[in-house]
Structure 1
Amino acid sequence: MSTEGAFGKGRLLPSLLGLVILIMGLALLVGGIKLLTLGGSLYYLLAGIGFAITGVLLMMGRSAAFGLYALVLFASTVWALWEVGLDWWQLVPRLALWFALGIVMLLPWFRRPVLRGQVGGGGARALGAAVIVAGIAALASQFTHPGEIKGQLDRETAGTTSAAPAMPDGDWQSYGRTAFGDRYSPLSQITPDNVSKLVPAWTYRTGDIPGPNDPGETTAENTPLKVNGMLYVCTPHSQVIALDPETGKEIWRFDPKISSGKAANFKGWAHMTCRGVSYHDDAAYAATAPTEAAAPAQSPAAPAVTGVANSCPRRIFLPTADTRLIALNADTGKMCEDFGTHGSIDLSANIGAYAPGGYYSTSPPAVTKDLVVIGGHVTDNVSTDEPSGVIRAFDVHTGRLVWNWDSGNPDDTTPLAEGKTYTRNSPNMWSMFSVDEKLGMLYLPMGNQMPDQWGGNRTEASEKFSAGLVALDIATGHVKWNFQFTHHDLWDMDVGGQPTLMDMKTADGVKPAVLASTKQGSIYVLDRSNGQPIVPINEIPVPQGAVAGDHTSPTQPKSDLNFMPPPLQERDMWGVTPFDQMLCRIDFKSLRYDGPFTPPSLQGSLVYPGNFGVFDWGGISVDPVRQIAFVNPSYMAFRSKLVPAAEVEGGPGRKSETEGVQPNKGAPYGVILEALLSPMGLPCQAPAWGYVAAVDLTNHQTLWKHKNGTVRDSSPVPIPLTMGVPSLGGTFITASGVSFLSATLDQYLRAYDVRNGKQLWEGRLPAGAQTTPMTYTGKDGKQYVLVVAGGHGSLGTKQGDYVIAYKLPD
């Protein structure tokens, strides 16, 4: 052996490399000890010892370093394959760094100074073999697709047709295109064969961008309408803009000049959101027979504007962030003077006290022949004394309150008298209604009673109607039926997506169905006339053991049609490197987790799927002709930790609905609720985190399922590889068999072939598009695809104010 010191001539590079490996080994050793004390994997402790000794040997110039490193790398490869098999993204944190360091050690500048004058070339050869074995494993993993399903839909029709309300093929007259919320367009000009030729037709900027006094979650979740020869767009600050569908030129703009109660400072609000507006046309009902019973005779009338004829035969209904419902002339953008008080209804009436921004409607109201029906968003986890989740139906022409349904007083729908207050803190419905006017029913996707993670004081009425689907009689507001999807919800599993109505082909014939996509991953399929399951729903045992003063349901309902992920295990924890993966494993083992529906705890519980859900407000789209559903499931783990009320005071405080301690004033516990992320800011559980998939609704089987989206716009290194990222927003589907989605964390609008899930096209967007796109036909006969790209404050996507239309080249 040479007598030169460790840092002698020619030894500097190996010694520095040895120092780096030593530090890495010590970090693994310390973390490995912590993980082992939590009952976790022994690997990190053993690997830490191996790498630390390797580093010391390299610094000392000992050739044994190569043999020892070969042993550790080979053992790491065997362990990785045992844990996760040939899964490329799972192998990356387990092997990539060690593989790269092995190659570096074999380079002449590192290898020769150590081996010079020593007997020990066998160690280098062993290291070369270990590098080759790890490389073969990495190469083989390129040909596997864990979690994906390949399939092909062969039929063009299932012998069925759409039962949704009729409208011109080129229109998009409601949030979900029709009141059925199916997001199915009969247009077929854009096909799987030509969609790759889509080009931008025009771009319009609304000018409504987040300001310094806006809340963190300022979002552009709007799906515009195309009706009356115009496009109707709403913005986060509740402005409505009418655009020319062919050019994007502004026709008119209405600004309600929302107020926070403190000039224009909205910082204390939880949200600033407008998902859409609603449209009503008297002419559409002129030739139809009445479908709703007359309003109850005892309904008190709101003050009417006398002497004013119906100057708004076509109306846009706008819910504002400062608790108003405004009726606009769809032709001119002027307020309809005969509606409410000079065109506006104050939705704070009979609500009681609330903080500015703590109550308003983020979603468009339902519109029927005679009524406009609206719910409301209530800020999560602030207190147990929040506004009511009342649903109110107003005369579509006069704004007179016709009925109100309050789940805290569900049997009395008589309009509440002036000076009375709706039941405080009753479950609310913040999402989108669906409507079947032929059956005379409204379908409400319900949330739960505040707070989300503690339910010790919930009332019997709130328990009955929360976290499920409620069908109301349009004319009276009385409950026709209800079905609960999460019993005693302690996980914020409110039903976020608009229910989808369709006539479904079953073994017993065609049935009127409603499909409810949910955060826990089940898609519940019920007969919309009576609430009975069409697809079987089974009660399954779930973990028990709530905190003192609370309880859990022994079972939870699970649909046979579901995208629920398998329970997480320690080996499912992920990272970019072995170090953040190890820290995620430590986090995982530190939390309480007994599978889905693990109760919240003082220790901290892992919630998976998390409260963004497998499916959230984006819902699903269906093709009633092919009898398939196109869906975009997401998988993100969250953690929730209960904090005793005495410790909430003086704590870090609430910053947003996913930052800081949510106070839950009036409850014995506050809560910390946040995504389970690695130190790199990426999800702790392994990818994929987002998919697109199709379901054959005739047999409830998944036809295909593919990873969707990249981390290009959300990782420190903009890698455009398809890892599968979460999406927040919805899809639509067309008669030609092309579907579209823009809601992923990367800035793209994408098109897919519904027959096999193949991505056919993608268009780069200037900002995030956590919204649902739509399609329409212009007066030029061209089919357009339109998306709003404004970003999402809570998700950290790039914000903007873009409305972009695409079409095929002339």
Structure 2
Amino acid sequence: MIILSLIFLLLGLVLLGGGVWLITLGGSWYYALAGIVLLVVGLLARNRRRQAQVLYALFLIVTAIWALWESGYDWWPLATRLGLFLVLAIPLLFLARDGGKSGVMVLLPVWVVIGLITVSSMAVDQHRIDGNLNTDVVMKDPNIGKTPDDSWHAYGRSNMGQRFSPLNQITPDNVQNLEQAWQYSTGDIKGPKDVGETTYEATPLKVGNTLYICTPHNWLVALDADTGEKQWVYDAKVPPESMRQHQTCRGVSYLPPASGDPDAIDVKVASEPAETLDSVQCDAELFLPTSDARLLALDPATGARCRNFADDGSLDLMHNMPYKQDGFYYSTSPPMVANGVVVVAGSVNDNYAVNSPSGVIRAYDVKTGELKWNWDSGNPDETAPIPEGETYTTSSPNSWSVASADEDLGLIYFPMGNRTPDQLGMYRTPEEEKYAASVVALSLETGQVAWVQQFVHHDLWDMDTPAQPALLDLKTDKGVQPALVVPTKQGDVYVLNRKTGEPIVPISEQEAPQGTIEGDHASPTQPISGLTFRPPTLTEADMWGATPIDQMICRIDFKSLRYEGQYTPPSEQGTIVFPGNFGVFNWGSIAVDPKRQVMFGMPLYLAFTSTLVPKENADLSNANKGEAGLNANAGAPYAVNMKPFLSPLGVPCQQPPWGYVAGTDLQTGKVVWKHKNGTIYDMTPLPLPIPMGMPGIGGPVITDGGVVFMAASVDNFIRGYDLASGKEIWRARLPAGGQATPMTYLNSKGEQMVVQVAGGHGSIGTTIGDYVVAYKLKK
């Protein structure tokens, strides 16, 4: 009993000390009072006195009432508030000198009832929305882009970015018959000199009967679409660079041959590395962006460089840049090929320096590499090719994600980021303010702005628009409209007329918190869409942890940090940013079904903290080791420290679920179903398939057969979902993390294949690998 008494005394001291601290911050009195009770129980237990059991039974009753009042009938909040205390009750049952009978009579009924209440809450999911999307065909002949039905010619299958395939061999009725058809290892793995966020995020292209896949270090791999056998590999020979924030490649882009027939490309099985081949004159072309700021044009048949494009197939994207720091600028997303130009945007390191490369967007002739136009958001009206010797605007807002295009309208749509530094707005010009955190529509012919719609005013939270817009023709009360659907980090899904930029789903303004550092300001209002997945404002009761101790510490942090709801400005005190920097949606975007007029998305909810660090006394020796952590903001008076809002045990401070899948009717703008997604299978020492609702990075693909495929979650599985209900109807184990968006196509035998790149994600800790895995139905 001495050990049990010491446990209660130690736990009581910790809860009393932390609880008093929490009270001084204006928080809950529960922990301090619980600490006092546990100290008394510990003293009574030392002498094996029956009063310890009576007092502990009362403590359990009060704690259960408090837990239900704070969290409702919700398993994870209840389990972590009550679980440890229920376990500690077990040895108390046998405490008394009368052989434990009095303990059984007093404590056991309370323990059983509260235990049953807690366990039975597992059967109730308060966060679930059940329903069924209307999967009747609404648009009989929808516009799905110019990609052949059996292929996947662009990152989102076509330039429309729908992630919708018209293939229908795989259905909810037969998806359980999917099995692995082949697996390929690229050989490109994370090295000792790589940055933390080295990740496979690539979606392959399927042209003719060949798959084209880029790897984190910018190898381009050509595989036989039937067997997965290697045809050729081009290694861009990208050197390591410690100042790069990301080491990844999301995909490549494709220019069809003049004949338009992809089968006219006679792909060769190479006997030597493609980068050693002499350059060739190219008809069809593949465009590979590299993380050392080049754009390569390669022959789809052999992987040889295209001598007709730029400098023997290589274009230096650092031309005319105002600053050229190594590792500060590069493209992680595929360029857009449309209407005779290849349009390239780029990623500019967040929060590394006030004076950084420009976020300029440039269009080059697809055959020659000649600069046709450049659109710089810091100088938006001058789009004629910039002369040699002049430079673009310093640090202007960039577009690091994937663009979409409507060739018939002659418009290209870019999701826009911020001017760096993200959390310091005093450096921004009126032009930069206008185009940051928006979608901008540019003319494919001239680069001139057709329209812009902004989603965050004076963004101080890194709420750049992260996702490729999806284009579809949408039936509305005003008739069929050319629509653009784009999700945002803050959780809104904006539905706009892609010709005019006018809202189809209404947009309103809401008041936002004020109060910034001297010299800056916060916008008094912020936009919100009528279709939104924004979470409720956090409260102290939402704080969570695996035990009452780290739960209490999260409450202390919550009360110590600045938080007045979404859009609370950054501060020296430290600010909670929720939704956090991962966003509710990220580059994985959403998938839309243009026939059924519905949307599938993967909203996630993780809070971050953002602290402005005055430079005069700051230790910046460990700054700029990645996007999260301390970033120096060279040239600014403040560094910024950004990180997920986690408990001492490394779990999110806000209670689960953290990740969902959701289905939306785009005609009504209503969320029809929403379910927890993902398990803790690969996040704990024991492989437990507990469905907590986990965060994820990646995106979905919808098939005409009514099945949605997506990996993305932090467990190593690819899943199939019923589009109508959102229910998980198939699952397969991956050899590594699936933080890439899958794709689907027909092989040469007419069989529908599903392909997932599985290489993991360095910054979220999923299993690292170098795999490409293909599935098809059993014969």
Same fold (TM > 0.5): yes
Contact 2:243–2:328 (CA<8 Å) still a contact in 1?
no
Distance 1:83 1:184 in 2: 42
Distance 2:731 2:649 in 1: 27
Does 2:49 align with 1:62?
yes
Which residue pairs with 2:319 in the alignment? 349
| CA pair 576-548 structure 1, distance change in 2 beyond 3 A | same
Q: 1:127 aligns with which of 107, 127, 130?
A: 107
- After superposition, residues 790-805 of structure 1 pair within 5 angstroms as 790-805=759-774
What is the one-letter code of the residue matched to 1:204?
Y
Distance 2:78 2:230 in 1: 52
- After superposition, residues 192-231 of structure 1 pair within 5 angstroms as 192-231=172-211
Does 2:53 align with 1:53?
no
Aligned residue for 1:740, secondary structure, equals: strand
- After superposition, residues 400-799 of structure 1 pair within 5 angstroms as 400-650=370-620, 652-659=622-629, 661-799=630-768
Which residue pairs with 1:5 in the alignment? none
Contact 2:280–2:304 (CA<8 Å) still a contact in 1?
no
Aligned residue for 2:709, secondary structure, equals: strand
Q: 1:321 aligns with which of 291, 296, 309?
A: 291
Q: 1:115 aligns with which of 94, 98, 107?
A: 98
Distance 1:674 1:309 in 2: 46
Which residue pairs with 1:88 in the alignment? 75
Contact 2:598–2:663 (CA<8 Å) still a contact in 1?
yes
What is the one-letter code of the residue matched to 2:665?
D
Which residue pairs with 1:276 in the alignment? 251
CA drift of 1:682 comes to: 1.1
Q: Spell out, residue by residue over 1:234-293, the C-alpha distance to the aligned partner (whole angstroms, 9 max, x if none).
A: 00110100000111000011111123xxxxx42332111100000011336699xxxxxx
Contact 2:139–2:594 (CA<8 Å) still a contact in 1?
no
Distance 2:706 2:91 in 1: 50
Contact 1:92–1:577 (CA<8 Å) still a contact in 2?
no
CA drift of 1:653 comes to: 2.5
Contact 1:15–1:61 (CA<8 Å) still a contact in 2?
no
CA drift of 1:15 comes to: 2.5
Aligned residue for 1:111, secondary structure, equals: coil
Which residue pairs with 2:4 in the alignment? 17
Distance 1:101 1:445 in 2: 53
Aligned residue for 2:625, secondary structure, equals: strand
Contact 1:67–1:122 (CA<8 Å) still a contact in 2?
no
Aligned residue for 2:258, secondary structure, equals: helix
Which residue pairs with 1:101 in the alignment? 88
CA drift of 1:608 comes to: 0.2
CA drift of 1:384 comes to: 0.8
Q: Spell out, residue by residue over 1:500-526, the C-alpha distance to the aligned partner (whole angstroms, 9 max, x if none).
A: 100111111110000110000000111
CA drift of 1:498 comes to: 0.3
| Aligned residue-pair number | 764
Does 2:159 align with 1:175?
no
What is the one-letter code of the residue matched to 2:13?
L
Contact 1:376–1:429 (CA<8 Å) still a contact in 2?
yes
The root-mean-square deviation of aligned C-alpha atoms, in Å, is: 1.6
What is the one-letter code of the residue matched to 1:677?
L
Contact 1:526–1:533 (CA<8 Å) still a contact in 2?
yes
What is the one-letter code of the residue matched to 1:180?
M
Contact 2:133–2:663 (CA<8 Å) still a contact in 1?
no
Contact 1:66–1:124 (CA<8 Å) still a contact in 2?
no
What is the one-letter code of the residue matched to 1:158?
V
Q: Spell out, residue by residue over 1:69-118, the C-alpha distance to the aligned partner (whole angstroms, 9 max, x if none).
A: 10111110010011111100111110011112213322xxx335x335xx
Distance 1:286 1:481 in 2: 35
Which residue pairs with 1:312 in the alignment? 282
Distance 1:241 1:309 in 2: 17
Which residue pairs with 1:302 in the alignment? none
Aligned residue for 1:219, secondary structure, equals: coil
Which residue pairs with 1:155 in the alignment? 135
Distance 2:523 2:514 in 1: 8
Distance 1:672 1:647 in 2: 14
Distance 1:310 1:356 in 2: 30
Q: Which protein shows a greater Rg?
A: 1
Contact 1:769–1:790 (CA<8 Å) still a contact in 2?
yes
Contact 2:4–2:42 (CA<8 Å) still a contact in 1?
yes
Gapped regions of structure 2 (runs ≥ 5): 263-277
| CA pair 573-789 structure 1, distance change in 2 beyond 3 A | same
Distance 1:643 1:317 in 2: 41
Which residue pairs with 1:301 in the alignment? none
Aligned residue for 1:33, secondary structure, equals: helix
Contact 2:760–2:767 (CA<8 Å) still a contact in 1?
yes
Contact 2:661–2:677 (CA<8 Å) still a contact in 1?
yes
Distance 2:64 2:616 in 1: 49
Distance 1:146 1:651 in 2: 46
Q: Spell out, residue by residue over 1:317-342, the C-alpha distance to the aligned partner (whole angstroms, 9 max, x if none).
A: 00011111111111111111111011
Distance 2:182 2:635 in 1: 51
| CA pair 55-344 structure 1, distance change in 2 beyond 3 A | same
Distance 1:656 1:58 in 2: 50
Q: Spell out, residue by residue over 1:758-808, the C-alpha distance to the aligned partner (whole angstroms, 9 max, x if none).
A: 100111111111110111110011111101111111111111100000111
Contact 2:224–2:230 (CA<8 Å) still a contact in 1?
yes
Distance 2:345 2:621 in 1: 33
Contact 2:325–2:356 (CA<8 Å) still a contact in 1?
no
Distance 2:622 2:169 in 1: 55
Aligned residue for 2:755, secondary structure, equals: strand
Which residue pairs with 1:74 in the alignment? 61
Contact 2:165–2:703 (CA<8 Å) still a contact in 1?
yes
| CA pair 554-571 structure 1, distance change in 2 beyond 3 A | same
CA drift of 1:353 comes to: 2.7
Which residue pairs with 2:15 in the alignment? 28
Contact 2:210–2:222 (CA<8 Å) still a contact in 1?
yes
CA drift of 1:160 comes to: 4.6
Which residue pairs with 1:358 in the alignment? 328
| CA pair 547-718 structure 1, distance change in 2 beyond 3 A | farther
Given the two structures, how large is their TM-score scaled by the length of structure 2?
0.96
Moved more, 723-732 or 663-672: 663-672
Contact 2:280–2:299 (CA<8 Å) still a contact in 1?
no
Distance 2:133 2:346 in 1: 40
Distance 1:372 1:762 in 2: 38
Contact 1:607–1:639 (CA<8 Å) still a contact in 2?
yes
CA drift of 1:717 comes to: 4.6
Contact 2:242–2:327 (CA<8 Å) still a contact in 1?
no
Q: Spell out, residue by residue over 1:339-375, the C-alpha distance to the aligned partner (whole angstroms, 9 max, x if none).
A: 1011111111111333222101100000013100000
Contact 2:437–2:465 (CA<8 Å) still a contact in 1?
yes
Aligned residue for 1:654, secondary structure, equals: coil
Moved more, 162-171 or 580-589: 162-171
Does 2:302 align with 1:332?
yes
Aligned residue for 1:806, secondary structure, equals: strand
